[in-house]
Amino acid sequence: MAKTSKTNAQLERVVRELRDLSREQGVAIWRDVAERLERSRRNWSEVNLSRVSRYAGKGEKVLVPGVLLASGELTVPVTVAAFRASAAARKKVEAAGGRTMSLLELAVANPKGSGIKILG
């Protein structure tokens, strides 16, 4: 059975750039995230803020290879990078003193992938 290709141009670009960064830096974290994004959307991670709050400490960087959703409360400031985040989730993260960013922004800011927790 033939593998179907993705039709979202932005998603294809993110996957390609993450793979390139993984090869350049010799770091497996970005290849792993790219492979997770290549799965069907049905199998993507959907992480609620309650899970981020449970597993992330103050000032940590959290990566969600999928969708960040707004269910739950966030009480500590964290940096959250996701392929897509709901508007309510962004608002709650910023209200807690944190920051949301795209996967590529996090990858460029931290090419070695050190100090990043993957949730999902």
CATH number reported for the structural domain that contains residue 25 in this entry: 3.100.10.10
What is the SS3 assignment for 84?
A: strand
CB 83 within 8 A of CB 11: yes
Give pLDDT, residue 1: 57
Give pLDDT, residue 41: 87
| Domain annotation covers residue 2 | no
Give pLDDT, residue 64: 96
Other CB atoms closer than 10 Å to residue 6's CB: what's the count?
Answer: 13
Can you say whether residue 26 is alpha, beta or left, with left for phi > 0 and alpha for psi between -120 and 50 degrees?
A: left
Going from the C-alpha of 29 to that of each of 36, 119, 120, the distances in angstroms are: 11, 13, 14
| Domain annotation covers residue 60 | yes
Domain that holds residue 23: 9-118
d(CA 80, CA 7): 26
CB 100 within 8 A of CB 80: yes
When divided into structural domains, the chain yields a total of 1
| Domain annotation covers residue 71 | yes
| Domain annotation covers residue 22 | yes
pLDDT tens-place values along the chain, 120 residues long: 556 677 889 999 999 999 999 999 999 999 999 999 999 888 899 999 999 999 999 999 999 999 999 999 999 999 999 999 999 999 999 999 999 999 999 999 999 999 999 998
Give pLDDT, residue 17: 96
Name beta bridge partners: 99: 79
